[in-house]
């Protein structure tokens, strides 16, 4: 859960108590979810907002409560939510009077069963009850678990900025008239209008705050800045924004009230304003940069590390020239705001101006990791095929959060399930028995011992994977359906294709292109484990199943010879076809099996993703020792990357392995690469060439980390995770982790920022 | 440890470095051959000295699991009490290279260095990276394969056979120059670029520091130069050994004499090889100092430039 970065966080839960009371009042008074949403949002805003801070050039800081209303989950919770753990802690440790504690108890018992997540999980269809016994994937060994949220709203910022708030209201009013003419229900439009009014009132709230702050400061520069904020907030209550400053202020504040974590194609929706203001001498380049830096810091204050995408570049932008011009300033903001967010994302292609590519490379070389790179020339075609959409739609692809693809304000593709293929392999080996929780799980299959060939075992394993994919797809559709009934999310709906037109909220038939994404973890380790099983059990017969399972049961303690045999078996990431082929086959099976589910459950697409976040670690905690030589509980490989320490053949070999993956049958695969600063400094051009080669040969994506001092320190402490670090000196052969500690220390001391 | 006879059908290699960036133009794969007639005191690849396999024990990766002890028949692995804890120790003298311990070490602290390859096996290792060799860099240089070591010329017959298979691939030969001249002539047409070492100017000191005389090296350089070979001269500079004016002047003279060579390159001393010396249980040969910093290296380059030599980097 995130910690909003605000100067003076609230010290008690009075806000949460007030919100609860307002919600209770609303459900007594209203029947329609739209009306309840409006009432709840009014209780939430501006109450949950925080003052403009001294360093802010725009208004809008937020601290979502432990109880509240949100869409994505990462901003506190999904739908009507309660953070039970933190509320309980407050009860146990808080001071406050008797009434306060009574209210807290009341809040806790009220929300226990009435929060959206619990309702959705508890009402899951009967056939899914046993397959998904729990949502506690962090605390229990689970081969698969639903994720309850609606992640990845990419609203139509262009529309918002073109129309302005009043224009948007006019659009809603016009639609309302049509509805009246057609004898349709108008509650949804009335509520939309009320929510836009709420946005305006938040503008007014911050406007008067800015004026007050302006009058209280003696700093002439700050006075001007606060006046700009106040002026802009006044203006955007009435008219569409006419400057870059107003545009950023409106887009930021509107998104904050949802609250949104994806910021869309910023270069596209800001580009025209930027060019207008720069070319007419209204702002200087420095001022534009300062605005974007402040915008970036505000994104960072939301503190949701796997989100906060700012997307730039690529095909399909309305105004590529203007957008490309502001791209450079956005990359400069990325380079200079040294915070984990936003996740600046560059979509590039053969038409990307060299200046943008070079700026991106410079930024990466400084160790920023951003921008994340997405290769349009591979992805537009591949995604078009995977999602079965036109080229035009495919060109609007947006990687959300961890890297799942959607289409800009056209589709919604919330990743609502996670699955652990390594846990499933563990089950397959033991015939459907989980030795960690000591119970049967999933379908009963033939155990590894009962199988007479590798292919037979692989089929058994695949039947477990299939079982969970089919169930996850059903859950995904169910989750959209029930969410549609409970939550209109009107601020999102108004700016999503199809909603106003149809008069329906986004998940209630408004968005015509609902897709689903299944987050798969453990594929690389599974492939490595399968390779070891194939080679040692079935082909070379150097290991019996009993010996393998006994060694695994003992977490290899006392079975090091077996573990070493397993560790030495082929590993993904070394350009070794033996295991790479197994990996690709597994990938394709999961991809196709997922894809088949779309029509079965009634979604436009259902695709799997292999992405970066912490689940490779948290899910792995409940997987015992595995036949890839991994010990019990140790992390699994992240996304489409070699398992830590198993890629030993250098960058080119790893790139060759990565490039074998097809991209036309999934919804996102993330590749991490890392280089030392010294290597980048001394061989920039060669590294660059290798990357280009990777992209030209089908590489779709890259997240490049240039390791600085801190990373080298970690490498000294945890050599097992840094076996790929190469020390480059002419005529010399060694890896960083092979050097003596004091020599490593010397290199560490030499690396400076 | 015993020297094994050299098998000309196969060569023993101690490392294959893909994505090699510092041994010739472009993106390369460097093959490090085992075996070297020189014994340079500063050598950073001491595992190259012997042509046979060698045992490596990397103490810093050892977790003291002691799994190696029961499988070691000669008793090279043992444990001692150290600061109240059991600590693994290894005696290189007792090791018979049976490799049983390597099979149980899950932490890669134990290895046998030196794997035999046939020409075809070696080529198979290189093939996947062909696409990277072909990428032109800014100066339109192509990458390729670098033969290094050790002294790759020690295995000239194997290399000649190998190079029959590598048509169209850019080949660098990283050599000390210490090999019979006819061997150089044998492979000359197949080598696109020689990375030729020039270590110490004074012949006496050369013997002292490198174990062999430099006359053969210099005559081979002359032979290659006049046979039209492309040559980069590489100058390892080790403080206290050859960072003196006499040697810098020697370098300048050589560069003037062979003014058609591509360029000269200073290879400043670094101490990364010290880790290996310990891991192989070798005698510390005395050069044991801090790595050279950039400023020092630039100073050397300006000294050489002051003699009117400009193609030095």
In sequence order, what DSSP letters do the residues of A430-492 get, joined into one string?
TTSEETTTTEE-SS----GGG-SSHHHHHHHHHHHHHHHHHHHHHHHHHHHHHHHHH---HHH
Q: Does A555 touch chain B (CB under 8 A)?
A: no
Comparing alpha-carbon positions, the chain B residue that sits nearest to A744 is: B272
Regarding whether A451 and A580 lie in a shared domain, the answer is yes
Give the lowest-confidence range in A426-440, A588-602, A643-657, B11-25.
Answer: A643-657
Q: How many CB pairs under 8 A join A and B?
A: 129
Counting residues of chain B whose pLDDT is more than 90, the rounded percentage is: 68
pLDDT value of residue A741: 73
pLDDT digits (tens, 9 = 90+) for B216-234: 999 999 999 999 999 999 9
Chain B hits for A552, CB-CB cut-off 8 Å, are none
- Position A730 scores a pLDDT of 57
- Using a 10 angstrom Cβ sphere, with 0-12 exposed, 13-18 middle and 19 or more buried, the burial of residue B259 is exposed
Q: What is the pLDDT of residues A34-91, one digit of tens each?
A: 999 999 999 999 999 999 999 999 999 999 999 999 998 889 999 999 999 999 999 8
Do the domain assignments include residue A216? no
Cis peptide before B185 (omega within 30 of 0): no
Taking only the tens place, the pLDDT of each residue in B259-293 is 999 999 999 888 877 777 777 776 555 567 788 88
Measured distance CA(A517)–CA(A83) in Å, rounded: 25
Backbone angles phi, psi at B14, to 5 degrees: -100, -15
The answer on A427 and A392 residing in a single domain is no
Mean predicted confidence (pLDDT) in A250-274: 97
Residue B2: predicted pLDDT: 44
pLDDT band per the 50, 70, 90 thresholds, residue B1: very low
For residues A569 and A622, membership in a common domain is answered with yes
Quote the minimal CA–CA distance from A358 to chain B in Å. Answer: 15
Q: Would the CA dihedral through A1, A131, A413, A343 be positive or negative?
A: positive
Question: Could you tell me if A565 and A492 lie in one domain?
Answer: yes
Q: What is the mean pLDDT of chain B?
A: 89
Q: Where is the domain boundary, A579, A614, A637?
A: A637
Residues 6+ apart with CB under 8 A from B193: B24, B25, B170, B171, B172, B173, B230, B231, B232, B262
Q: How do residues B7-22 score in pLDDT, each as one tens digit?
A: 568 999 999 988 888 8
Picking from B246, B286, B234, the residue whose alpha carbon sits closest to that of residue B43 is B286
Who wins on pLDDT, B108 or A210?
A: A210
Q: Pick from A134, A127, A135: which is nearest to A439 by CA?
A: A134
- Give, as one character, the DSSP assignment of residue B51: S
Structure confidence by residue, pLDDT tens digits, B157-191: 999 999 999 999 999 999 999 999 999 999 999 99
Give domain status of residue A114, yes or no: yes
Contact assignment for A730 to B106 by CB distance below 8 Å: no
Are A399 and A374 in contact by the 8 Å Cβ rule? The answer is yes
pTM of the model: 0.91
Q: Say if residue A285 is in the same domain as residue A358.
A: yes
Query: Phi, psi (5° rounding) for residue A478?
Result: -55, -40
| B144 chain-A contacts, CB cut-off 8 A | none
Q: Do A377 and A506 share a structural domain?
A: no
pLDDT band at B4 (very low <50, low <70, confident <90, very high): very low
pLDDT confidence of residue B30 = 94
- Residues 87-126 of chain A with CB under 8 A from chain B are none
Q: What is the pLDDT of residue B283?
A: 59
Residues 254-293 of B with CB under 8 A from A: 265, 267, 270-276, 278-279, 290-291
Segment A662-680 mean pLDDT: 86
Q: What class is the B55-112 domain? A: alpha beta
- Is A165 contained in some domain? no
pLDDT at A746: 66
Tell me what the mean pLDDT of segment B139-146 comes to. Answer: 83
Worst-scoring range by mean pLDDT, A90-99, A604-613, A631-640, B270-279? B270-279
Report cis status (omega within 30 of 0) of the bond before A259: yes
Of chain A residues 619-638, which have a CB less than 8 A from chain B? Answer: 629
pLDDT averaged over chain A?
A: 93
Tell which A residues from 671 to 710 touch B, by Cβ distance under 8 Å: 679, 682-683, 685-687, 689-690, 692-693, 697
Question: What is the C-alpha to C-alpha distance for residues B236 and B197, in angstroms, rounded to an integer?
Answer: 7
Question: Are the C-beta atoms of A150 and A415 separated by less than 8 Å?
Answer: no
Asked if residue A380 and residue A435 are part of one domain, the reply reads: no
Q: Are A224 and A190 in contact (CB under 8 A)?
A: no
Residue located via tokens 């630039």: B298
Dihedral of CA B60/B64/B65/B68: which sign? positive
Average pLDDT over residues A23-36: 97
pLDDT digits 0-9 by tens, B119-130: 999 999 888 888
Q: How many domains does chain A have?
A: 3
Backbone phi, psi, residue A132, to 5°: -115, 85
Model confidence at A751: pLDDT above 70 = no
Give domain limits for chain B.
10-51+116-304, 55-112
Q: Hey, which residues 9-48 in chain B have their CB within 8 Å of chain A?
A: 14-15, 17-19, 21-23, 26-27, 30, 32, 44-45
Domain that holds residue A334: 277-409+671-753
The pLDDT tens digits for A693-749 are 899 889 999 988 887 766 777 777 777 777 767 665 555 556 677 777 767 776 666
The pLDDT > 70 percentage for chain B reads 94
CB nearest to B274's CB, from A561, A652, A740: A740
Higher pLDDT, A212 or A653: A212
Q: Determine if the peptide bond prior to A501 is cis (ω within 30°).
A: no
Under 8 Å between Cβ of A257 and A168:
no
Kindly compute the dihedral angle of the four CA atoms of residues A633, A637, A639, A645, in this order, to the nearest 10 degrees: 150
Residues of B with CB below 8 A from A554's CB?
none
Do residue A384 and residue A445 come from a single domain? no
State how far Cα A535 lies from the chain centre: 37
pLDDT of residue A729: 56
Domain co-membership, A358 together with A422 = no
- Which fold, B10-51+116-304? TIM Barrel (3.20.20)
Q: Which of chain B's residues have a Cβ under 8 Å away from the Cβ of A731? A: 22-23, 30, 44-45, 148, 174, 195, 234, 267
pLDDT digits (tens, 9 = 90+) for A471-491: 999 999 999 999 999 999 999
Task: Flag if A731 and B44 touch (Cβ within 8 Å).
Answer: yes
Out of B44, B71, B131, name the one closest to residue A693 (CB): B131
Residues 217-256 of B with CB under 8 A from A: 234
A290 within a domain of the structure (yes/no)? yes
How many CB atoms within 10 Å of residue A6?
Answer: 16
A652 interfaces chain B, CB cutoff of 8 Å: yes
Residue contact A732–B276, C-beta within 8 A: no
Whether A746 is covered by a domain: the verdict is yes
Scanning the structure block, which residue is given the tokens 């509980």? A633
Residue A247 lies in a domain: no
Q: Which residues of chain B lie closer than 8 angstroms to A653, CB-CB?
A: 18-19, 128-129
Q: Is pLDDT of A1 > 50?
A: no
Position B6 pLDDT exceeds 60: no
For residue A750, is pLDDT > 70?
no
Q: Average pLDDT of A637-648? A: 85
**Do A744 and A616 sit in the same domain of this protein?**
no
pLDDT at A461: 98
């Amino acid at each position: 859960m995130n910690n909003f970065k605000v100067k003076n966080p609230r010290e008690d839960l009075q806000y949460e108590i007030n919100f609860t009371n307002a919600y209770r009042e609303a459900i007594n008074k209203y029947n329609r979810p739209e009306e309840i949403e409006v009432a709840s949002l009014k209780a939430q805003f501006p109450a949950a907002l925080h003052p403009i801070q001294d360093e802010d050039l725009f208004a809008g800081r937020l601290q979502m409560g432990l109880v509240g209303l949100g869409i994505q989950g990462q901003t506190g919770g999904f739908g009507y939510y309660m953070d039970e753990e933190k509320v309980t802690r407050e009860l146990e440790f808080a001071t406050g009077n008797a009434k306060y504690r009574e209210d807290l108890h009341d809040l806790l018992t009220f929300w226990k069963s009435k929060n959206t997540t619990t309702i959705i999980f508890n009402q899951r269809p009967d056939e899914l009850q046993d397959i998904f016994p729990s949502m506690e994937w962090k605390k229990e060994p689970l081969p698969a678990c639903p994720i309850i949220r609606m992640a990845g709203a990419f609203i139509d910022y262009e529309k918002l900025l073109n129309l302005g708030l009043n224009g948007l209201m006019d659009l809603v009013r016009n639609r309302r008239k049509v509805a009246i003419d057609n004898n349709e229900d108008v509650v949804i439009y009335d509520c939309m209008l009320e929510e836009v009014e709420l946005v305006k009132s938040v503008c007014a709230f911050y406007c008067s705050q800015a004026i007050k702050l302006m009058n209280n400061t003696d700093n002439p520069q700050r006075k001007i800045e606060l006046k700009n904020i106040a002026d802009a907030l006044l203006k955007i209550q009435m008219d569409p924004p006419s400057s870059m400053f107003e545009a950023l202020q409106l887009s930021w504040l509107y998104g904050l009230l949802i609250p949104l974590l994806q910021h869309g194609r910023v270069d596209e929706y800001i580009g025209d304003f930027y060019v207008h203001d720069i070319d007419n001498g209204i702002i200087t380049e420095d001022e534009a940069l300062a605005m974007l830096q402040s915008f970036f810091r505000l994104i960072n204050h939301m503190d949701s590390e796997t989100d906060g995408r700012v997307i730039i570049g690529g095909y399909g932008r309305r105004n590529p020239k203007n957008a490309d011009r502001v791209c450079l300033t956005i990359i400069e903001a990325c380079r200079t705001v040294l915070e984990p967010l936003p996740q600046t994302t560059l979509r590039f292609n053969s038409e990307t101006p060299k200046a943008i590519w070079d700026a991106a490379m410079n930024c990466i070389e400084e160790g920023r990791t951003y921008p994340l790179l997405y290769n349009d020339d591979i992805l537009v075609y591949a995604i078009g095929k995977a999602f079965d959409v036109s080229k035009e739609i495919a060109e609007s692809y947006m990687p959300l959060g961890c890297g799942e693809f959607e289409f800009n304000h056209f589709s919604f593709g919330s990743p609502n399930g996670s699955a652990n293929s390594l846990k499933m392999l563990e089950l397959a080996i033991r015939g459907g028995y989980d030795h960690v929780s000591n119970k049967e799980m999933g379908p009963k299959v033939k155990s590894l011992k009962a199988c007479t060939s590798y292919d037979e075992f692989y089929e058994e394993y695949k039947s477990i994977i299939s079982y969970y994919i089919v169930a996850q797809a059903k859950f995904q559709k169910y989750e959209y359906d029930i969410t549609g009934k409970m939550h209109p999310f009107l601020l999102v709906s108004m700016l999503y294709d199809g909603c106003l037109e149809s008069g329906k909220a986004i998940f209630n038939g408004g968005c015509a292109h609902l897709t689903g994404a299944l987050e798969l973890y453990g594929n690389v380790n599974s492939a490595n484990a399968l390779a070891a099983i194939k080679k040692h059990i079935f082909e070379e017969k150097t290991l019996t199943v009993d010996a393998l399972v006994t060694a695994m049961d003992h977490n290899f303690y006392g079975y090091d010879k077996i573990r070493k045999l397993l560790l030495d078996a082929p590993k993904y990431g070394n350009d070794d076809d033996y295991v790479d082929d197994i990996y690709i086959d597994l990938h394709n099976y999961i991809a196709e099996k997922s894809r088949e589910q779309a029509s079965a459950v009634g979604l436009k697409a259902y695709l799997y993703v292999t992405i970066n976040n912490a689940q490779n670690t948290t899910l792995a905690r409940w997987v015992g020792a595995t036949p890839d030589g991994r010990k019990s509980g140790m992390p699994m490989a992240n996304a489409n990357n070699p398992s830590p320490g198993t890629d030993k053949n250098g960058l080119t070999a790893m790139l060759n392995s990565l490039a074998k993956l097809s991209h036309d049958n999934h919804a996102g695969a993330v590749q991490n690469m890392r280089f030392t600063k010294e290597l980048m400094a001394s061989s920039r051009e060669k590294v660059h060439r290798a990357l280009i080669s990777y992209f030209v040969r089908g590489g779709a994506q890259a997240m490049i980390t240039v390791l600085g001092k801190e990373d080298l320190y970690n490498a000294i402490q945890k050599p097992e995770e840094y076996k790929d670090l190469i020390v480059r000196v002419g005529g010399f052969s060694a890896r960083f982790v092979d050097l003596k500690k004091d020599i490593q220390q010397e290199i560490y001391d030499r690396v400076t920022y | 440890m015993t020297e094994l006879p050299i098998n000309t059908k196969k060569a023993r290699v101690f490392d294959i470095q893909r994505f090699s960036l510092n041994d010739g133009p472009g993106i390369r794969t460097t093959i490090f051959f085992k075996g070297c007639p020189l014994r340079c005191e500063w050598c950073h690849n001491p595992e190259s000295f012997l042509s046979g396999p060698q045992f490596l024990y990397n103490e810093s990766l050892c977790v003291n699991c002691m799994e190696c002890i029961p499988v070691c028949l000669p008793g090279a692995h043992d444990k001692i009490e150290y600061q109240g804890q059991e600590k693994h120790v290894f005696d290189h003298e007792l090791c018979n290279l049976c490799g049983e311990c390597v099979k149980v070490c899950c932490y890669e602290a134990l290895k046998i260095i030196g794997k035999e390859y046939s020409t075809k096996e070696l080529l198979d290792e290189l093939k996947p990276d062909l696409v990277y060799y072909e990428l032109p860099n800014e100066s339109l240089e192509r990458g390729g394969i670098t033969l290094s070591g050790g002294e790759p010329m020690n295995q000239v017959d194997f290399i000649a056979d190998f190079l029959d298979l590598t048509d169209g691939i850019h080949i660098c030969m990283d050599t000390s120059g210490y090999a019979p001249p006819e061997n150089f002539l044998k492979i000359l047409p197949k080598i696109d670029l020689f990375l030729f070492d020039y270590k110490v100017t004074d012949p006496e000191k050369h013997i002292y520091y490198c174990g062999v005389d430099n006359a053969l090296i210099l005559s081979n350089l002359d032979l290659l130069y006049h046979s039209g070979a492309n040559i980069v001269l590489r100058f390892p500079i080790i403080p206290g050994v050859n960072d003196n004016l006499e040697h810098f002047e020697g370098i300048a003279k050589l560069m003037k004499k062979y003014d058609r060579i591509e360029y000269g390159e200073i290879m400043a001393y670094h101490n990364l090889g010290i880790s290996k010396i310990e891991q192989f249980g070798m005698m510390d040969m005395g050069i044991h100092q801090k790595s050279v910093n950039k400023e020092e290296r630039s100073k050397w380059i300006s000294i050489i430039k002051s003699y009117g030599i400009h193609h030095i980097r």
